[in-house]
Amino acid sequence: MVLGILNVLSAVSLLFIAAVGLAVIFGVMGVVNLAHGEFIMLGAYASVIVVKLGLPVSVSLIVAPLAVGMIALLLEPIFFRYLYGRVMESILATWGLSIVLRQAAQLIFGAGYQSVPYPTDATITVLTTQISFYRVLAIFLALVIGLGVLWIEKRTNLGTTARAVMSNAGLASTLGVNIGRIYAGTLVFGAALAGLAGAFLAPLTSAYPSMGLSFLTNSFFAVLVGGLGSLPGLAFASGMLGSTQQIVAIFIDPVWGSVALVIVALILVRWRGTA
Amino acid sequence: MLCVTDVESGYGDLTILRRISFELAPGEVLAVLGHNGVGKSTLLRTIIGQLRARKGEISYAGKSLLGLKPYHIANRGISYIPQEAALFPDLSVVKNLHVAFGSRKDFGIACDHALAAFPFLRNRLHQRAGTLSGGEQKMLLVARSMLVSPRLILADEVTEGVQPMQVSRIAEVLRACREHDGTAMLIVEQHLDFALGIADRFVLMKQGMIVSAGATSSRGARVEIERQLAL
Amino acid sequence: MSWPPGIAIAHSGIDRLRLTSVGANCLIVALLASAPLWVSQYFATDILARAMLLAILALALDLAWGCCGILSLGHSAFFGLGAYAMAIVALRWDSGLAPYVGFVLAILLPALLAAVVGWFMFFGVTSSLYVAIVTLSLPVLLSAIDLRIPKLTGGLTGLSGIPSFPWAEPLYTYYLLLGALMLAIVIVTWIVRSDFGRLLMAVRDNEERARFFGYNTPALRLFIFALSAGLAGYAGALYAPYNGFVSHDLLGLVLSTSAIVWVAIGGRGTAAGPVAGALLVNILEPTLNAAFPGFWQLFLGLIFTVVVLLLPSGLFGLVGSRRPPRRGFQIIDAPPGRRTRDRMTVAARKLNLSFGSLAVLHELNLEIETGKLHCLIGPNGAGKSTLVDVITGRLRASAGDIVIDGAQAAFLPPNVIVHRGVMRTFQASNVFETQRIGDNLFLAACRRELALLTQSTNQIAMPVDARRVLQLSGLDRKLDTFAGELGHGERKWLELCMVLTAQPAIIILDEPTAGLSSIDRANVGEVLISLVREHSLGLLLIEHDLDFVKSIAERLSVLSQGTIVADGSVQAVAESPVVRQIYLGHTNAHE
């Protein structure tokens, strides 16, 4: 029972961690980034490289966000800059980017799974059941990230400026806010969060070139259900979708769990639309 | 200080401003008058860079403003108060002020100075800006403008929906700004008393063009303006 | 007053597009038909045949994407579903009927899946992103389910040994598949060329305007989506016996991604582009993939990204003109008695609406009647356009009622409100810019949507008042011009014509004279007065120009800060202090 609850919370947390980078980018800039899954994938491969270099795997939790953030920074002036405010183009163009990144990863790392060791194999015992500490750690990481982003949003000047840009970019510009810089910064931040997610998820799923796809749709569903620009909404959506998936997975099957997630997402969005 | 020459501007294939020309000296206040829809707001939006001037030239302190992004223009010391959607309604009053203040130093001191003009705002600092009344919002906008000690203020209908007592307060504050800091202003207004009370000169627009101009102090000014507006 | 019937018949010459789209397809088919003469049999039956089947998939995708704007990122799910359906029936059921039943199922099952998914996607609040994500998840889910029921589907290894066609000669198969491709091309071309195709283009480019002319756009998109899924299933149904085995990756994202790439590179929205793109890529792929393993896919991804950003009409956009052919429009009399109502009232009662913490409408009451010219004025930002949005179903009020002719209308979608007899124009005149003026009028006049599938007409049925305005504006001489090329004033006239063509009882006009010259303004004023006096329309004009209002209105209401502050005859209200305060701004000397 306790194991079940912790598993559900862990699944919800993992979904949240994967989706938060997307939510930040989408919320502030309105850019649809279909290459979000690939940013996660790059973070996972960063872990692989860290391990290959002989460093402890927990270092990847710092290296991955930096690396992926840097990649986003490089891509901003040559690619993302042309997409601000253009929804259909950004869907297609970032889909193209995701194809390119996937193929590049396949060429560089090979198509197979590359496993990444857990930073810790510890287990904790709760009421006579043993649970992997790492999975429980996911819950804490989700809380830290969620509260951290919320703190930035509500308590820092940067957060206030970002919220202003999200609310009315034109007005912010006339007040002297360099919205180009805000957009670029948000992109890098969101990408770094995705990279962090990838590094954290790598031991659980192993790194493989098309891993991004399995996170992409779920992340988007979480963001769409949770509502644009709302971190609490994302938390709620992760809760609803993640727990549905996990519960169905436990009682029936992981595959039907994924199906259930999509069905619940469809229902929630449809009903919210008519409310 | 601000030099507008033969400016033409509009939205899409619609031309609103046709050959607008005027000048503004440092520390001068110019009132832009006219009915709804003649292009007063369009003029301000073109100066601040939200709209692209199709023809003509706009120069400020000797340098051209054409093609610059609004934030570049704003950071040269021009403060724009739009008529609509001028605040971030879901942010608190103090956060709205923060956004305009940006990364300058000493927010506290500047804030004190601005709030001294509108003391009631001290009690509303953490209230969401959208919950203020219409008049209070306009006063917040003026305070926000003063916060950055601008060289030029572009004010669009800053007294719209404001009670007469609050209107006089705003007029006092703007006059003080002009006297102490030498701020120039371009005031778009429908409220004639207010506009003529603080402006040195006026221009009157009709259908995108300036049809009449003069000094507000001249005797026949008021009569002439009312005549033109009533036509 | 008799107005000569407006007749405009332009002869349809050889338009460049006729030569390029239909012509290109003929060229492609001819090349394919003669191919066995000049390529090896292996090449024809292995590579070309497979490419032809995938070209049908591309066509199906383009029907949804290019023609209707539904970005289906996972269309191969339908193809794979069709292939598996055919394979499973053929393998499990020992009967002469098996292939036929399999074929039918292979078309119906994907269509059904698409209909169910579409019901979630297109109704309610929707966006291209939502559609993209939902359709993206289909291959992912179907793939996963496929692995979960290996007894039925063969799991990772797939199903093999599917009985092939009842002949031994492989060239017969080749020509059968070519015939299948031709059939698909004919179907898609027919739809695109029919009047239904014109409607789809309008929905794709300006869905909102289509809804406000009474079209049930979510239902239309559902229909096309299901149709395109069925077409993809049809291709899958042929693939199974052709290939002999179906494998897991038919359901996967790789095939879907590829399909999007073929359509984008070839040129979406044209009947020939997707075919050309699919054929080109699939013919080149085996050789290029062998020569540069791994890099080919990367290269394709880069080309796709570049095409999307810089060359949105694809290769076909470079080659041919994308304009639909000229029709030679002919205007005829509308049959009498089509107007929905002669006497009608629309009443807004105690409307309240807030955007977040901003109260836009507050306890608002207003009534509009037929036979009256009613104006609504008020300062900027007072809520006038928002009020119109609420009345016409574009926004929902948080409290209050809209009553149209005694019946509740607060929760109705815009197209239903149009059917009740209430129409509107938009402040920035909203017409179908990618269509010709004649097409715009046709779409406004039309009533029954599905009937459009069977016709391709050049006649536009317009009532007398609409024809008169058409003539007055000079647009009757410009029926072939594209609406996007019109100037500001002409666009306003067109929108007014279109609304009149649809024969509503009450029209709400949002700033009809903004930006018009004084001559046009006077003409519009005359037209509006005669519409009310002679044809008993009810008009509500949102206006700024007080002089214009004083010259034509009978009734005047003033909206300020979200509520009606004055309402009555135009003489009484126009002279009232409220209006003077709002419009002339100056307080009287001593106040």
Q: What is the 3-state secondary structure (H, E, C) of C342-401?
A: CCCEEEEEEEEEEECCEEEEEEEEEEEECCCEEEEECCCCCCHHHHHHHHCCCCCCCEEE
Tell me which chain B residues have a C-beta less than 8 angstroms from the C-beta of A181.
Answer: none
On chain C, the residues whose CB falls within 8 A of the CB of B16 are 515
Taking an 8 Å cut-off on Cβ atoms, the answer to whether C129 and A91 are in contact is: yes
User: Which of C354, C380, C545 to mutate to test binding with chain B, by most B CBs within 10 Å of its CB?
Assistant: C380
A173 touches chain B (CB under 8 A): yes
CB B171 within 8 A of CB B160: no
C205 and C353, same domain (yes or no): no
In angstroms, the separation between the Cα of residue B112 and the nearest Cα of chain C is 27
* Alpha-carbon distance C437 to nearest alpha carbon in chain B (angstroms): 18
Q: If you measure CA to CA, which chain C residue comes closest to A216? A: C133
Q: Which residues 143-172 in chain C show a CB within 8 A of chain A? A: 144-145, 147-148
In a domain, C252, yes or no: yes
The pLDDT-based confidence of C325 (bands split at 50, 70, 90) is low
* Chain B residues touching A175 at Cβ < 8 A: 71, 74, 80, 99-100, 102
- Verify whether the Cβ–Cβ distance B16 to C515 is below 8 Å: yes
A266 and C147: CB-CB below 8 Å? no
Q: Distance (Å) from the C-alpha of residue B127 to the closest C-alpha of chain C? A: 12
pLDDT score at C324: 63
Residue A177 touches chain B, beta carbons under 8 Å: yes
Average pLDDT over residues C265-274: 87
pLDDT above 90 for A72: yes
Mean pLDDT of C348-366: 83
What domain range includes position C250? 16-319
Distance between terminal CA atoms of chain A?
35
Q: Where are the beta strands (DSSP E) in C255-340?
A: 330-333
Residue of A nearest to B145 (CA): A175
| pLDDT value at residue C584 | 55
Distance from CA of B109 to the nearest CA of A (A): 17
Q: Do B84 and C545 touch (CB under 8 A)?
A: no
More confident residue, A237 or C127: A237
- What is the average pLDDT across C115-137? 88
C19 pLDDT higher than 70? no
Q: What values do phi and psi take at A82, rounded to 5?
A: -80, -5
For position C357, what pLDDT does the model report? Answer: 65
Chain C partners (3+ C-beta pairs within 8 A): A, B
Cβ distance C124 to A216 less than 8 Å, yes or no, reads no
Rounded to the nearest angstrom, the minimum Cα separation between A252 and chain B is 44
Residue C326: inside a domain: no
* Gap between the terminal Cα atoms of chain B: 33
On whether both C184 and C74 belong to a single domain, the answer is: yes
Task: Enter the DSSP assignment of C47.
Answer: I
What is the average pLDDT across C188-214?
88
Among residues C318, C371, C317, C296, the alpha carbon closest in space to that of C530 is found at C371
Banded pLDDT at C17 (limits 50, 70, 90): very low
Determine the pLDDT at residue A173: 93
How many A-B residue pairs are in contact by the CB < 8 A criterion?
Answer: 60
Q: Residue C347 burial (CB < 10 Å; 0-12/13-18/19+)?
A: middle
Q: Average the pLDDT over C479-508 and give the result.
A: 87
- Nearest chain B residue (CA) to A181: B71
Q: How many domains does chain C have?
A: 2
| 3-state secondary structure at position A130 | strand
The reported pLDDT for the residue numbered B142 is 92
The 8 Å CB, 24+ separation contacts for A131-139 are A131/A3, A131/A6, A134/A203, A134/A204, A135/A6, A135/A7, A135/A10, A135/A204, A136/A6, A136/A10, A138/A10, A138/A13, A138/A14, A138/A17, A138/A200, A139/A6, A139/A9, A139/A10, A139/A13
C308 and C362 inside one domain: no
The overall average pLDDT reported for chain C is 84
C21 is a domain residue: yes
Question: Residues of C numbered 197-256 whose beta carbons fall under 8 angstroms of chain B's beta carbons: which are they?
Answer: none
Q: Does B152 touch chain A if contact means CB atoms closer than 8 Å?
A: no
State the Cα–Cα distance between residues C482 and C472, nearest whole angstrom: 19
Which residue did the predictor score with more confidence, B90 or C334?
Answer: B90
Q: How many residues does chain C have?
A: 591
Using the predicted structure, report yes or no on whether residue C15 has a pLDDT greater than 60.
Answer: no
The CATH code for residues B2-230 is: 3.40.50.300
Give the pLDDT confidence score for residue C106 in this predicted structure: 95
Quick check: is C450 in a domain? no
Whether C308 and C205 share a structural domain = yes
Average pLDDT over residues A88-116: 89
Strand partners of residue C330? C459
Average pLDDT over residues A41-49: 93
Best mutation target, A84, A153, A171, to test chain B (most B CBs within 10 A): A171
Q: Is C484 on the interface with B (CB under 8 A)?
A: no
Distance from CA of A84 to the nearest CA of B (A): 15
Question: pTM for this one?
Answer: 0.85
Q: Which of the pair, C535 or C10, is modelled with greater confidence?
A: C535
Q: Do A224 and C133 touch (CB under 8 A)?
A: yes
pLDDT the model gives residue B116: 86
Q: What confidence score (pLDDT) does residue A101 get?
A: 93
Domain positions in chain B:
2-230
Segments in C66-194 forming alpha helices (H): 76-92, 98-122, 128-148, 150-153, 170-193
Q: Do C308 and A262 touch (CB under 8 A)?
A: no
Higher pLDDT, C112 or A60: C112
Q: What is the pLDDT of residue C434?
A: 87
CB contact under 8 A, C133 and A221: yes
Q: Are C273 and C315 in contact (CB under 8 A)?
A: yes
How would residue C98 be classed by pLDDT, with cut points 50, 70 and 90? confident
* Residue from B48, B79, B90, B99 whose CB has the most chain A CBs within 10 Å, to mutate: B99
- Give mean pLDDT in consecutive 10-residue pieces for chain B, a chain of 231 residues: 88 81 91 82 91 90 89 92 88 91 85 86 86 86 90 90 83 89 89 86 87 82 78 61
pLDDT for the residue C340: 54
Shortest distance between the Cα of C560 and any Cα of chain B, in A, equals 10
Question: Picking from B70-74, C3-7, C335-339, C432-436, which range would have the lowest pLDDT averaged per residue?
Answer: C3-7
Q: Is residue C309 part of a domain?
A: yes
Give residue-wise pLDDT tens across range C29-77: 888 888 888 888 888 788 899 999 999 999 999 999 999 999 999 999 9
What does R_g of chain C's alpha carbons equal in angstroms? Answer: 29
Beta strands C563-569; C555-560: pairing state:
antiparallel
- The answer to whether the CB atoms of C141 and A258 lie below 8 A apart is yes
Q: Do B83 and C544 touch (CB under 8 A)?
A: no
- Residues C90 and C166 reside in one and the same domain: yes
A chain contacts of residue B70, beta-carbon cutoff 8 Å: 170, 173-174
Q: Which residues in chain B are contacts of C546 at CB distance < 8 A?
A: 35
How do the domains of chain A map onto residue ranges? 2-210
Asked if C581 has any chain B CB less than 8 Å from its own CB, the reply is: no
Give B96's contacts in chain C (Cβ within 8 Å): none
Closest CA to A60 of A202, A263, A179, A181: A202
Cα(A20)–Cα(A220) distance, rounded to whole angstroms? 10
- Selection from C470, C536, C474, C479 nearest residue C499 by Cα: C470
C314 — alpha (psi -120 to 50), left (phi > 0) or beta?
left
Tokens of C344: 């009608």
- If we measure between CA atoms, which residue out of A210, A234, A211, A214 comes closest to residue A224? A234
Confidence band for A273, pLDDT divided at 50, 70 and 90: low
Mean pLDDT for C8-20 is: 36
Spacing of C-alpha B91 from chain mean position: 22
